[in-house]
Every structure is written in structure tokens, then in C-alpha cells.
């Protein structure tokens, strides 16, 4: 688990770091402007195709079947399965891209009803540019499914680096354009170029693993019907989650200028630990969980062991992330985004939104592992049912907190954005509890040990709290916000690791052991 999760995490880390650089450059040029709101809103519309047909869905339906055939040595059928799925995806995405470009004006009215005039027209232009790039990203996710099944984790998760580089390059190249609307369009074209490059980077390795690959629409190939059957519930599950995201975006568009951008900046940071730790563990575990063999009791014991270890490994990294976002979020946001058009006031606005999202961070990451466990059992309907509950619950609370809370408390309407993330956090905990309860009823008792949870939270809150006290109350010279963030990290990081060792947290001991062994080899 550790080595596979490390490879996934390393690839995601490079991708997310380049993504943070991209967001910093974006903040420098766009800030919380109308053009920034338009680009962020436009980016969400074609992304529904990537989320519905891309990485998550393919992982849930394609990898379990493909990995099972590979494990049984049936490489010929596995190759044919990959060929059929690749052909279906290619045709579907070509059709949906054409339809999407045509239907863009109608889609805009659904997800950003608060946009009018030039802002609405700019959003439409950007969406139409982005659709072909999204189709390329979905095919890139097909490559990811094949690479992950063969345990080639690093390349598939590091490939988005080139996507981010292309977008950054477009902004730097055309950043001298005075009209932000024109710069937004150039940035969208950079995204399309980056999507093509991301696919091209993965294709050579993918084709070497599936030699003699041929396009096909033969639905009689072994495993195709099973993949398509599992594909539909996951598409619906991802769809309702996307609907929730769109409704959040729609509500934010009704709030003052900057709400959509603030929500997007906060989500960039919030998704970093979700991807690094939640996705790295769940993605690396899915092929292994899908290959479990033996009697029902042996399979159950195997699943329970790996789930429990995965939950504790996720918590070791996610809990301090949540604590840092809440206690040190202004330093983190400022270090990453405070430049150019993005000022100190914008930093605080994004920090408050990030606080609300951090409440549900642990639930979101651990839910991914439980979902992977259900997918490995070829059960895609249970995560769907609980996703529906989460979305319904989140939308109801989100509408209440975003639109009514500022009125009740007599605070500016922009604070409604915080209400959106708080509602999403509450809904995430509801989904997590339902997933765990159902899995425990079906397979056996799973979950983190209470003593372990207490030790992790104690170490995280003490480390981040100490850093926050030093940064806020100890007299320091006037330093750049990046330097202040680095000082805070230099205090909190080693202190958390030291407390983890003192409290005998297994991941901390494993981490120290790896570092020690590498130093001895040198």
C-alpha cells in the first residue's frame, strides 16, 4: 500500500504543485474580476464530461474488470476490452463535444443565471473553446485506467503537469494584453493545447501495455457488458455530485462579484489533500482490492485489513491539513495567491471559505476509500444512493446558509460563500457515515481506532496551534507573506512529525524509517 500510494501521491503532488502555480499566475492576472468569474464558471461546464466519463467513472467500472482479467493472465481479452471501451469513449466524446458547443448558451443560463451582458457572452465563448479539450482529457483518463491496472501509477497522475504548464504559458505569453476578456480566451486555448499534450504523454506507455490494440464496437467482448452495466450507476452518481457543484456555482453567481472566484480558489486548496492523500490511497488500493481471492471470509478479512490501514494512513495526513487550513489558512492563501490583482482582502475572503470546506475534509477523503471498496465488489449502486443523499442534503442546507444566513446575522452577502462550503462539509459527513455503516454491515467492522483518532487530532491541533500563536503574537519583522507562510510550515511540520513519533503513530514511524534507510544507503 505504502509504495503504490507513494507513487500516486508523488504524481499528484507534482500535478497539484503545478496547479497551484497556475492558480497563482491566474490570481495575478485576473484576481476576483468579472473575467476571472467568467473563466472559473466556464471551466465547470465542460468539466462535467470529464468527471462523468473520465477518471472517476473509468476507475469505478473499467479498472475492476480490466484488472481482474490481467490478474488471471487473460491479456488478450483485456486488450480487446480496452479497445472497445476506448472506441466507445472516443465516439461519445466527439458527439457530446459537438452538442455541447451548440448548447452552450442554454447551459450558461442554468449554471450562472447571475451573469449578464458582456460577462455572460465571455463565459459562452470560453465554454465553446474548452469543450474539445475536455474530450481529450477523457481519453487521457482512459490511459490512466490502463496504466493503473498495470500498477504504473506515477505517469498517469503526473501527466497533468504539462496541462498546467500549457495554461501558465498562455497567460504569461499573452499577459500583456490589456483586455482581460481577451486574455481569458487565450488562456482557454492554452488549456486545449495542454489537454492534447497530456494525452500524448501517456499514449506511448499505454500502447506498449496493450499491444495489438484495435478499435472495436463488439459488445460481446468479455467484460464489456459488465463495465457498461456498472458504468451507468457511476455516471449517475458523478452526475448528481456535479449537479451539486453546479448549484453551488449558480448560488455563488447570485452573490456579489468575487464569490465564484473565491469559491474556486478555496476549492483548489481544499482538493489538494483530497487528491494527495484520499485519491492516492484509494486509487492505489482499487486494483488490489479488485484482485482479492479466496473464500468469502478470506476476502472479507483482506478487505477489512486494507480498509482500516488505509483509513489511518489517510487521517495521518488529512487531519493536519484541515487543522492548517483552519488555523493558518490566511498565510497559506496569501503565499499562493496574494499578488497583482489579488490583495490581502481577497486572501481573507478565500480563507473564510476554506475554513468551511475544511470541516468536511476528513469525511470526503475517507469516503473515497469506502467507495473504492464497493467498486472492487462490483457494487456501484450503494455509493450512488449515498451520493444522492449527500447532494440533496447539501443543496438544501447550502441554499439556506448561502442566501439566508447573511440576512439573519446582518453581515455582507459575500459571506454566503462560506455557508456553501459549510453545507458541503456537513453533507460529506452524512455520506461518510452511511458508507461506513453499509460496508460494515456487509463485510465486517471497519474504522479508525478511537485512540488513534485522538492522538492524530491532538498532534495536529497542537502543532498548527503553536505555529499560529507564534505567527500572530510573537513580534516579527515585516516579512513577505510567502516568508511568513514558510516559517509557519517550518514550525508546524516538524512539530507534528515529532509529536506523531512521541505518540507512536504508525505512519510517522514508517516515514522516519524510510528516511533513515535512505540516509544509510547514501
Cα distance between residue 401 and residue 244, in whole Å: 15
Of the listed ranges 5-19, 91-105, 156-170, the one predicted with least confidence: 5-19
| CA torsion angle 417 419 420 423 (round to 10) | 170
Indicate the pLDDT class of residue 316, thresholds 50, 70 and 90.
very high
Question: Is 242 a residue whose pLDDT tops 70?
Answer: no
Asked if residues 215 and 83 have their Cβ atoms less than 8 Å apart, the reply is yes
Question: Is 2 a residue whose pLDDT tops 60?
Answer: no
Cα distance between residue 237 and residue 243, in whole Å: 10
CB neighbour class for 99 (10 Å; exposed up to 12, middle 13-18, buried from 19) = exposed
pTM of the predicted protein model: 0.70
Q: Return the SS3 of 344.
A: helix
Indicate the pLDDT class of residue 5, thresholds 50, 70 and 90.
low
Look at 360 and 11; give whichever has higher pLDDT.
360
Question: Is 291 a residue whose pLDDT tops 70?
Answer: no
What does the chain come to in residues? 522
Task: Output the average pLDDT for the chain.
Answer: 82
Tens of pLDDT along 447-461? 888 999 999 999 999
Residue with cell 449502486: 381
Displacement of CA 412 from its chain's centroid (Å): 30
Asked if residues 133 and 191 have their Cβ atoms less than 8 Å apart, the reply is yes
Nearest-Å Rg of the Cα atoms of the chain is 23
Cα distance between residue 53 and residue 68, in whole Å: 21
* Residue 145, pLDDT score: 79
Q: Which three cell numbers stand for residue 219?
A: 459488445
Question: Is 11 a residue whose pLDDT tops 90?
Answer: no
Long-range contacts formed by 420-423: CB under 8 A, 24+ apart: 420/248, 420/251, 420/252, 420/263, 420/353, 420/356, 421/263, 421/266, 421/270, 421/353, 421/354, 421/355, 421/356, 421/357, 422/356, 422/359, 422/397, 423/394, 423/395, 423/397, 423/398
CA-based torsion, 381, 386, 389, 394: positive or negative: negative
- SS3 string, 355-407, reads HHHHCCHHHHHHHHHHHHHHHHCCCCHHHHHHHHHHHHHHHHHHHHHHHCHHH
Amino acid at each position: 500500500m505504502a509504495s503504490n500510494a507513494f507513487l500516486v501521491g508523488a504524481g499528484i503532488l507534482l500535478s497539484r504543485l503545478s496547479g497551484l502555480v497556475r492558480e497563482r499566475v491566474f490570481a495575478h492576472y485576473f484576481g476576483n474580476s468579472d473575467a476571472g468569474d467568467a473563466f472559473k464558471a466556464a471551466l465547470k461546464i465542460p468539466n462535467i464530461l470529464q468527471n462523468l466519463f473520465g477518471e472517476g467513472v473509468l476507475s469505478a467500472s473499467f479498472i475492476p474488470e480490466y484488472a481482474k482479467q490481467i490478474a488471471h493472465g487473460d491479456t488478450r481479452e483485456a486488450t480487446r476490452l480496452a479497445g472497445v471501451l476506448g472506441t466507445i469513449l472516443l465516439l461519445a466524446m466527439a458527439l457530446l463535444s459537438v452538442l455541447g458547443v451548440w448548447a452552450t448558451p442554454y447551459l450558461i443560463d442554468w449554471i450562472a443565471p447571475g451573469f449578464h451582458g458582456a460577462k455572460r457572452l465571455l463565459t459562452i465563448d470560453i465554454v465553446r473553446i474548452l469543450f474539445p479539450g475536455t474530450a481529450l482529457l477523457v481519453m487521457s483518463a482512459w490511459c490512466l485506467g490502463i496504466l493503473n491496472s498495470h500498477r504504473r501509477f506515477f505517469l498517469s497522475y503526473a501527466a497533468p503537469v504539462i496541462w498546467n504548464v500549457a495554461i501558465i504559458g498562455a497567460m504569461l505569453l499573452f499577459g500583456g494584453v490589456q483586455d482581460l476578456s481577451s486574455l481569458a480566451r487565450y488562456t482557454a486555448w492554452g488549456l486545449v493545447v495542454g489537454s492534447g499534450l497530456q494525452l500524448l504523454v501517456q499514449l506511448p506507455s499505454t500502447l506498449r501495455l496493450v499491444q495489438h490494440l484495435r478499435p472495436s464496437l463488439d459488445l460481446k467482448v468479455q467484460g464489456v457488458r459488465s463495465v457498461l452495466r456498472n458504468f451507468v450507476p457511476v455516471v449517475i452518481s458523478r452526475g448528481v455530485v456535479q449537479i451539486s457543484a453546479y448549484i453551488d456555482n449558480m448560488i455563488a453567481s447570485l452573490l456579489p462579484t468575487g464569490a465564484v472566484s473565491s469559491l474556486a480558489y478555496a476549492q483548489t486548496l481544499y482538493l489538494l489533500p483530497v487528491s494527495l492523500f484520499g485519491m492516492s490511497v484509494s486509487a492505489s488500493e482499487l486494483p488490489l482490492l479488485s484482485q482479492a481471492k479466496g473464500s468469502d471470509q478470506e476476502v472479507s478479512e483482506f478487505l477489512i485489513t486494507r480498509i482500516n490501514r488505509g483509513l489511518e494512513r489517510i487521517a495521518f495526513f488529512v487531519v493536519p491539513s484541515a487543522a492548517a487550513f483552519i488555523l493558518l489558512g490566511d498565510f497559506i492563501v496569501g503565499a499562493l495567491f496574494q499578488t497583482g490583482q489579488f490583495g490581502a482582502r481577497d486572501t481573507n475572503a478565500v480563507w473564510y471559505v476554506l475554513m468551511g470546506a475544511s470541516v468536511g475534509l476528513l469525511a470526503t477523503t475517507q469516503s473515497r476509500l469506502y467507495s473504492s471498496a464497493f467498486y472492487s465488489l462490483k457494487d456501484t449502486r450503494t455509493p450512488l444512493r449515498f451520493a444522492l443523499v449527500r447532494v440533496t442534503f447539501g443543496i438544501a442546507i447550502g441554499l439556506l446558509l448561502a442566501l439566508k444566513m447573511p440576512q439573519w446575522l446582518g453581515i455582507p452577502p459575500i459571506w454566503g460563500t462560506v455557508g456553501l462550503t459549510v453545507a458541503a462539509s456537513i453533507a460529506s459527513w452524512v455520506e461518510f457515515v452511511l458508507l461506513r455503516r453499509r460496508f460494515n454491515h456487509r463485510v465486517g467492522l471497519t474504522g479508525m481506532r478511537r485512540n488513534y483518532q485522538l492522538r492524530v487530532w491532538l498532534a495536529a491541533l497542537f502543532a498548527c496551534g503553536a505555529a499560529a500563536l507564534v505567527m500572530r503574537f510573537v513580534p516579527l519583522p515585516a516579512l513577505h507573506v510567502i516568508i511568513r507562510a514558510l516559517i509557519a510550515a517550518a514550525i508546524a511540520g516538524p512539530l507534528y512529525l515529532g509529536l506523531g513519533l512521541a505518540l507512536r503513530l504508525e505512519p510517522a514511524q514508517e516515514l522516519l524509517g524510510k528516511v533513515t534507510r535512505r540516509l544509510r544507503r547514501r
